[in-house]
Amino acid sequence: MLSGQLIINFRKVRNPKIIMKANLGMEISDTVMQTIEGIIAKNNGATLEQINDELIIKGLELGFLDLLKKEYSNITPLLLESFDYNEDTKIFNIKKNSNFQTHIDERLRVRYYLISYLRRMERENMVVTFDEIVMKILPLLKNGTTPKHQTILNVLEDVGQRVGDDSWRLKQSGQLSLDKLFSV
């Protein structure tokens, strides 16, 4: 006969993600995170207002707005813990050197990381080859399926501009178009 003691220690958790999952349930909290990541990817960063607006729309569509409002009216702690925040621009982004935690459309993920990488290269006054781009962003894209090089090239042609034979830089403001991205 087996016998023994079971000792259970409880610890109060201050992790906003865990609190949200406990208050809203797993499915709704996953939808909230996917919505936040989606709006960040779509706009290449998002303000608190843009995130709130998108969550209200999603909450209305899927019928959980009342729960969200009641249990989690202030999402700022969740955002600050889960995403990078730029004090100057007031924009949230995916944490540096991390990838999306939820399933985001492949072309949208590619676009987000391409723009981010090409912006950084622009600040460093560098142009990069297609191979360098693929080597840098491919590890970040492992979210569901890994895109083909052709998908990366197609999105790169939308957001980037060729420099010489095989080098690229980010298109200048006003040249970027969302139309091609969503006409898949």
pLDDT of residue 151: 86
Strand-pair category, 167-170 with 160-163: antiparallel
Whether 156 maps to a domain, the answer reads: yes
- CATH number of the domain where residue 162 is located: 1.10.10
Calpha distance 44→42 (Å, rounded)? 6
Residue spans of alpha helices (H) in 7-105? 16-24, 26-43, 48-62, 65-71, 76-82
| CB-CB contact of 146 with 165 (8 Å) | no
pLDDT digits (tens, 9 = 90+) for 91-104: 999 888 777 766 67
pLDDT of residue 144: 53
* Listed ranges 43-47, 63-67, 146-150, 163-167; the one with the highest mean pLDDT: 43-47
pLDDT digits (tens, 9 = 90+) for 52-71: 888 888 877 777 777 777 76
Examine the domain organization and report whether 34 and 80 are in the same domain.
yes
What is the extent of the structural domain holding 136? 106-170
Whether 89 maps to a domain, the answer reads: yes
Whether 178 maps to a domain, the answer reads: no
| CB-CB contact of 141 with 147 (8 Å) | yes
